[in-house]
Amino acid sequence: MASVRRVLSAVAVNSVFLLLLAGLTVQEGEQKLHVGSLNQPRAAQKLHRKAAPLQQWQARGNPLDLAGGGVGGFAGGLGDGGEDFRDQGQMDLQPLPGKVADINDRNKKLVQKVQNVKNEGRLPEMPKIPPRARNDPQMKVKLDGIPPKLAAPAAANQRSGGKGHMRIADNLACREDVQRLCAHNVRTNNFAILDCLQNDRPKDDDLSPDCHHFLWDYKRNLTKDIRFDQAAYEVCKEPLAKLPECSKLETGQGLVISCLMDHKGNISNQQCHQFLVKMTSIVFSDYHLVENFVKDCTGDIQKFQCGRVSSRDEESQIDHSQGYVINCLQKRIGEKDGLEVRCMKQILRVGELSADDYHEDRALYFACRDDRERFCEKITAGEGKVLKCLVQHKFEHDMSDDCREKLIIRQRLVSQDYKVNYGLAKKCKEDIKHYHCRVDNMPEGKFAKLSFILLCLENAIQKGRQVSGDCQGEMFDMRRQLMSDFQISPEIVLNCRKEIEDLCSGLQKEGRTIHCLMQNGMDDSKTAQNRLSKTCMIAVQSLVKEADAGFDYRMDVALQDACEPVVQTACKDIKPGDAMILSCLMEHLYTPSMVVECEEKLLELQYFISRDWRLDPRMYRKCAKEAERLCNAGPEWNDTNDNLPPGIVFSCLYRHVYRKDETKLSHACAFEVRRVMHQRAVDVRLNPMLEKACLRDLGEYCSENVEKGEEMHCLQDNFKNLSKQCSERVGNFTQMSSQDLDLDRIFMMSCAPMIKRYCKDIVDKEEDDGALLQCLIDNKNEHEMNKKCAAGIMHMQLIQLKDYRFSFKFKEACKSDVVKYCRNIKNKADLVNCLSEIVRNDTLMENKHKISKDCRGQLRVELLDRGEDVRLDPKLMQECNRDIQQFCDKEQLGDARILECLKRHKKKLSDGCHVKLFNREREELTDNSVDYGFMRDCKPMVKRFCPQSDPKEVLHCLRKNKNNEFMDERCKKAITQRQIEQAEDYRLDVELQKKCKKDVPKFCRDILAESRSTELEGRVIGCLKAKVGKNRLSPQCEDHIKELMREAAIDYRMDPQLAQGCKEEMTSWCSEEMTNPDTGSVEECLKKKFSEKKITSKMCQTQVLRLLQEGKADIHVDPLLHQSCALDIKHYCAGIPAGEGRQMSCLLEALEDRTVHLQRDCEEKLKSRVEMWEYAAKVAPPETFNELMVQMSASPARNYFVGVICGAVFIILCLGVLTGRMTKRVRAEQKNR
């Protein structure tokens, strides 16, 4: 039924024109229609009723008598087998069946029937169309609209001398042109001829000037005729009632029709709408027929030489331009000295009125006729569909240049006035109205720029408001067009003309020119300059925002073409059009799955997106309110008046991600900010503030031999040399990356497998606060760790040394202590030394710790990490560089290998290196948890034997379990090595310092007086050993010394004085035993050689005698004897406490008691010891006067010693007598006075 109503409505409209053009008077038409209506079918009766209002014209007079040929326009829509007439707003009646010849015959009959209206007074019957004719592709008959060109023969008749029945084909001015250009079968049809002369010719020059003038005058009189206004009042009665601004206009001036055309988009009445469609085809055939066009555009037409607007007799001689003038003026849209505002309005108004039918854009229609047949043959004209189809094929290779140029001009009009795009204006009408996107007070008057509409609608979308799907589809098409061709953006054309010519090799299609501008808009680090002018840069930035390229990568045609392979592989699981595709591409930047062309285009787009935080749709939706509250961002997405520097809002948001107070971002916003920051951190150019500050530094230090994505590492490596502004920015970024490792994409890609293997639990947390890096550092030397990741970890550690703030956990834990105790130190290595020295001194002096607990804990971590690689201790590295090259050049860096090598060669090191190494040993033995080598070797054993022990005292715990059967040999070796180091200097033994704090200065003052920065070779410990058993040391000190003596008796290396004093003897006599140094066999060997009198060195003899004396005082100090006699001690000396020789005396008594039978091995070793002691007693020097007298009396030369002593006494006596006589005598009374 709806289709029937449309047919009836259309035919009713056509009846109006038929009566007007067929040369009938109103009275004549009324009478004949009435007579014929009795035999008419229902459809014809409908037509009669629709045409009834024309009867009223009789009373007004002035009957309209047009040329008889005009009636042919009703059926004149048929051409030579398929000519497409303007279909806009009409209903197609499908072609008649049969061949073209048959169809033409039918057409002639139909024309003849219509012609009989004048002679017989009745309308032709509607032909019955067989169903199969609807699919015939050869021809279309239009029965729902009249031919597009209406005849105005009144004027024509006056010129030709006729009196009412003039055909265009009979007019002398056009006769020859009609015969030359138009088919014979249409010459009786004014509308067919008008269509032929206007639309079928390739160019205007085919017509003679007289015919041009005749046709223009013909159409002008037609549009100015008052009866057409009256027809409009009847056909458009309902719309005019709703449009008082049109109904009140003066008739006969073409104003009513013009006004209705302005509101055509708002007219829903089918009859009126189709009436206006027919009128527009006449009006737009010549710019003079458009209301006020000549008046408003005369100056611009003359200025740009777009045509002649006056001649000898004014309008009578104006050229019939068929849209040339309008097209010429349209080309000036967007130019610097372009059209005046009034003319601009007229051009845009014409664009609006011709938006729905591409036929009405004369220049476009003629330029694209062949292209329409080639690309859009199956597209039905109307609602801008043909134009949309042509735009989609604009960059096809076989698209004609002329058509492409006209399409670009049309698109440029759309950018100035969105209503020139019929689809966008229609489908977004309600949304534009609802969200108040029409601004009547804009500089362009009522014409709203496309950019304004797009931004306004996008603002609604970003705010989570509903915009229809059809509207969003139109927005997508327009944005894609904007990004595909720079020529349709007047701002780009105007502001970037020079850059396009100089930098982009002229014009390029499919978005390549825009990307060329983007590429040149990226600051050049070598020249520290931007190659785009400021105005061009702003234009490109505005274009990116208008196109909203950050939402859908398909908006950017060049990017889509370049990245499609990556999307199909790396991002195939993401729905097309999802904003996550662009995010996915960023995640794969600088990965093997990324192709070079995509990488370049992606960076060019992201460079501009990164300068406006609103262009990331996901982040904007989650963070808009917080950006406004915390960072002074504008409240609207399309706000362009915030005047904030590029990147400032995003930087502000990121600073609030990790805040702990009320300014901390919400969970959702923080997630998006971190995501964007992680993606953009891959390239410094995507960090606007950092790039601006470091442009010159990048050119100076990082312009050569720097891999993609490694620019930040380069800046960090040259941190000390950077300019102040750049170092500040790099420092801030490095601080952030220490807290969030994902900011270092290259590092994270290298370490991804290792993170999954070792640090999975930490990754599952949203905020690692530096824990992830610490986890990787702890596992840096594992066998499965890949080299690239280990190198990245080392780089991070070295960077952190440059400033303590680069280590997030250290900064957070120690910032208050740094301010209080190490205020002027920034270098992390120096700061660690400063703080660790305070902690060590407090520990040794048993004072309350000045450094906070949290800082001490983090300091322990830093010291442990430093022990892993000498490069992390710059001062040690500097002092020991030559020694490392000399003694450790074959050792690999890392895993504490270099440090252990230096310890093995410390006797040969340079003084400076030796001092640094000794201080390092003091730190490690003061707090065992910072001894990387020791903790590496003993970590499992610490967990087994010392899980509850203080980490800094685990060595003491492990020493007690050193000989446990479950002790790992590797750890046991490490324990022994640390014991050897401690034995070399009492300052390396924290426990000794604590327990013998008073004894050392009391008994070893002379040794302490020798101020040394290196080892004292065990002299202080030897000094304390000499006081053992004499009740002179404090109990706790003596117990500790005895423990050291027992350990040294098993391993000579823990007795540095013995090792140094008997070095040659051990090498000569005990080399075999030295292969097992921790069994006590070396000491036993020396004792035997001593008893055999083979040791002649006084120094070595003294040390062996000391061993014998220590063993005599405590059997535990003689491990071999104790091991042999353990059962006998348990059996015979069970109740006797150890120490002070008590158990030894018990065994000696048992040895002399014939009733006691000791173990054979014990008995033999006891006898051997007795012999050694006896020999030692003879060799050992006396330590007291009594020992000296006893030794002298037992000596074979004792008489010699007595004689010497007596002689000495006699000499002293004689000297006294002699000196006494030599003095002056004094009287007795004087002496007694």
User: Is 618 in the same domain as 593?
Assistant: no
Please give the residue that has the higher pLDDT: either 892 or 46. Answer: 892
- Please determine, for residue 56, whether its predicted confidence score (pLDDT) is greater than 60: no
Which value, in Å, is the radius of gyration of the alpha carbons in the chain? 54
pLDDT for 1185: 61
Q: Identify whether residues 65 and 175 lie together within a single domain.
A: yes
**684, 691 Cβ separation under 8 angstroms:** yes
State residue 110's pLDDT score.
Answer: 47
Q: How far is CA 1052 from CA 143, 862, 983, 1024, 1085, in A?
A: 121, 34, 11, 18, 11
What sign results for the dihedral spanned by CA atoms 942, 948, 952, 955? negative
Q: Does residue 904 fall inside a structural domain?
A: no
How far is 568 from 685, CA to CA, in rounded Å?
A: 27
| Non-local CB neighbours of 1129 within 8 Å, separated by 6+ positions | 1115, 1122, 1143, 1146, 1147
Beta bridge partners of 524: 529
pLDDT value, residue 642:
58
Per the rule left: phi > 0, alpha: psi between -120 and 50, beta: everything else, 967 is: beta
Statement to judge: residues 755 and 674 lie in one domain: no
Asked whether the predicted pLDDT for residue 127 surpasses 60, the reply is no
Asked whether residue 42 carries a pLDDT value surpassing 60, the answer given is no
In degrees, to the nearest 5, what angle opens at C-alpha 273 toward C-alphas 270 and 276? Answer: 150
Inform me whether the pLDDT recorded for 763 exceeds 70. yes
Name the burial class of residue 43, with classes exposed (0-12), middle (13-18) and buried (19+) by CB atoms within 10 angstroms of its CB: middle
Distance CA(981)–CA(157), nearest Å, equals 126
| Spatial contact of 468 and 431, defined as CB atoms under 8 Å apart | yes
Specify the DSSP class assigned to residue 1150: H
Q: How far is CA 217 from CA 64, 327, 497, 587, 595, in A?
A: 17, 21, 42, 67, 63
Q: How far apart are CA 590 and CA 749, in angstroms?
A: 10
CA distances to 62, 656, 995 from 67, in Å: 15, 82, 132
What band does 1208 get if pLDDT is binned at 50, 70 and 90? Answer: confident
Q: What is the pLDDT of residue 466?
A: 92
Give pLDDT tens digits for 773-802.
889 998 988 888 998 999 999 999 999 988
Among 92-96, 389-393, 943-947, 979-983, where is mean pLDDT lowest?
A: 92-96
CB atoms within 10 A of CB 125: 13
Does the residue 360 lie in any domain? no
What is the per-residue pLDDT for 192?
A: 75
Q: What is the DSSP string of 1060-1106?
A: HHTHHHHHHH-TTGGGSGGGSHHHHHHHHHHHTT----HHHHHHHHH
Q: Is the pLDDT of residue 309 over 80?
A: no
Residue 603 and residue 628 in one domain:
no
Which of the two residues, 284 and 1037, has the higher pLDDT score? 1037
Instruction: Decide which of 224, 253, 278 is a domain's last residue.
Output: 224
CA distance 919 to 1136: 44
> Contact at 8 Å (CB) between 230 and 298?
no
Examine the fold and report which residue of 786, 801, 816 is the final residue of a domain before the chain moves on: 801
Question: What is residue 284's predicted lDDT score, i.e. its pLDDT?
Answer: 60
Q: Residue 865 above 60 pLDDT?
A: yes
- Percentages helix, strand, coil for the chain, rounded to the nearest 5? 65, 0, 35
Instruction: Give domain status of residue 1124, yes or no.
Output: yes
Residue 324: what pLDDT? 75
Could you give the CA distance from residue 1229 to residue 1233 in angstroms, rounded to a whole number?
6
Token duo for residue 1030 = 């004499």
pLDDT: is 121 or 1021 the higher one?
1021
Nearest to 196 by CA among 214, 173, 217, 180: 180
Name the percent of the chain lying above pLDDT 70.
78
Going by C-alpha positions, the residue among 493, 459, 486 that lies closest to residue 475 is 459
Mean per-residue pLDDT, 495-499: 88
Query: Is the domain of 111 the same as that of 218?
Result: yes
* pLDDT on residue 18: 44
Domain match, 149 and 218 both: yes
Q: Express each pLDDT in 379-419 by its tens digit.
A: 888 888 999 999 999 888 889 999 999 999 999 899 888 98
What span, in angstroms and rounded, lies between the C-alpha atoms of 252 and 284?
A: 18
- Give the per-residue pLDDT at 507: 58
Asked whether residue 568 is domain-assigned, the answer is yes
Mean pLDDT confidence for 515-544: 83
Q: Under DSSP, is residue 346 helix (H, G, I), strand (E, B) or coil?
A: helix
- Cβ proximity of 222 and 4 under 8 Å: no
Are 985 and 1018 contacting, i.e. CB atoms less than 8 angstroms apart? yes
Q: What pLDDT band is residue 1192 in, cutting at 50, 70 and 90?
A: low
> For position 708, what pLDDT does the model report?
80
Per-residue pLDDT, 209: 79
The set of long-range contacts for 257-260, using a CB threshold of 8 Å and a minimum separation of 24, is 257/223, 257/228, 257/229, 257/232, 257/283, 258/283, 258/290, 258/291, 260/232, 260/236
* Domain shared by 763 and 685, yes or no: no
Separation of alpha carbons 851 and 840, rounded Å: 10
User: SS3 sequence, 695-713?
Assistant: HHHHHHHCCCCCCCCCHHH
Mean pLDDT, to the nearest integer, of 1116-1129?
A: 86
Q: What is the dihedral of CA 403, 406, 412, 417, to 10 degrees?
A: -110
In a domain, 557, yes or no: yes
Q: How far apart are CA 739 and CA 832, in angstroms?
A: 19
Q: What integer pLDDT is reported at residue 641 of this predicted model?
A: 56
Place of tokens 């509903």: 466
What is the C-alpha to C-alpha distance for residues 846 and 1029, in angstroms, rounded to an integer?
28
Task: State yes or no: pLDDT of 332 exceeds 80.
Answer: yes
Strongest mean pLDDT among 116-120, 151-155, 505-509, 841-845: 841-845
Phi then psi for residue 445, to 5 deg, are: 75, -130
Of 801, 827, 861, which residue is a domain's last? 801
Residue 596: CB atoms within 10 A of its CB come to 9
pLDDT greater than 90 at residue 261: no
Give percent of the chain with pLDDT exceeding 90: 22
Q: Are residues 1113 and 1223 in the same domain?
A: no
Q: How far is CA 1171 from CA 137, 871, 1091, 1150, 1168, in A?
A: 132, 56, 8, 17, 5
Specify the pLDDT at position 291.
Answer: 66
In whole angstroms, what is the distance from residue 148 CA to residue 151 CA? 10
Instruction: List, for residues 1023-1058, the tens digit of each pLDDT value.
Output: 998 888 777 899 999 989 988 998 898 899 999 999
Residue 593 within a domain: yes
The predicted model gives 890-919 an average pLDDT of 92
Q: What is the pLDDT of residue 824?
A: 85
Domain count, the chain: 6
Residues 89 and 124 in one domain: yes
Phi-psi region of 151 (alpha: psi -120 to 50; beta: other; left: phi over 0): beta
217 and 95 within one domain: yes
Q: Which residue has the tokens 């007004």?
A: 60
User: How far apart, in whole angstroms, are the C-alpha atoms of residue 838 and residue 725?
Assistant: 34
| Amino acid found at 373 | E
Give a yes or no: residue 86 inside a domain.
yes
Q: Which residues have C-beta within 8 Å of that of residue 571, sequence separation ≥ 6?
A: 580, 581, 584, 585, 588
Distances (CA, A) of 289 to 315, 355, 489, 681: 11, 17, 29, 60
Q: Please report which helix (H) or strand (E) contains residue 939, including its range.
A: helix 932-945
Whether residues 686 and 623 fall in one domain? yes
- Domain-embedded: residue 1108: yes
Residue 788: domain span: 731-801
Q: Is 807 helix (H, G, I), strand (E, B) or coil?
A: coil
Average the pLDDT over 797-816 and give the result. Answer: 89
Instruction: Find, among 128, 137, 87, 84, the residue nearest to 106 by Cα.
Output: 128
Q: Which residues pair with 579 in a beta bridge?
A: none
d(CA 662, CA 656): 10
What confidence tens digit (pLDDT) does each residue in 875-900 have?
Answer: 999 999 999 999 999 999 888 999 99
In three-state secondary structure terms, 141 is strand
Q: Which of 183-197, 1094-1108, 1122-1136 has the lowest mean pLDDT?
A: 183-197
Average pLDDT, the chain: 78
Q: Looking at per-residue confidence, does 80 or 944 come out higher?
A: 944
Summarize pLDDT for 178-228 with one digit per residue, the tens.
888 888 877 777 767 777 777 666 554 567 878 877 877 777 776 677 777
Does 498 share its domain with 629?
Answer: no
- Spatial separation of the C-alpha atoms in residues 1013 and 1004, rounded to whole Å: 17
Give phi and psi for 433, each to the nearest 5.
Answer: -70, -45
Q: What confidence tens digit (pLDDT) does each residue in 337-348 have?
A: 788 888 988 888
* CA quadruple 559, 561, 566, 568: dihedral sign: positive
pLDDT computed for residue 754 by the predictor: 92
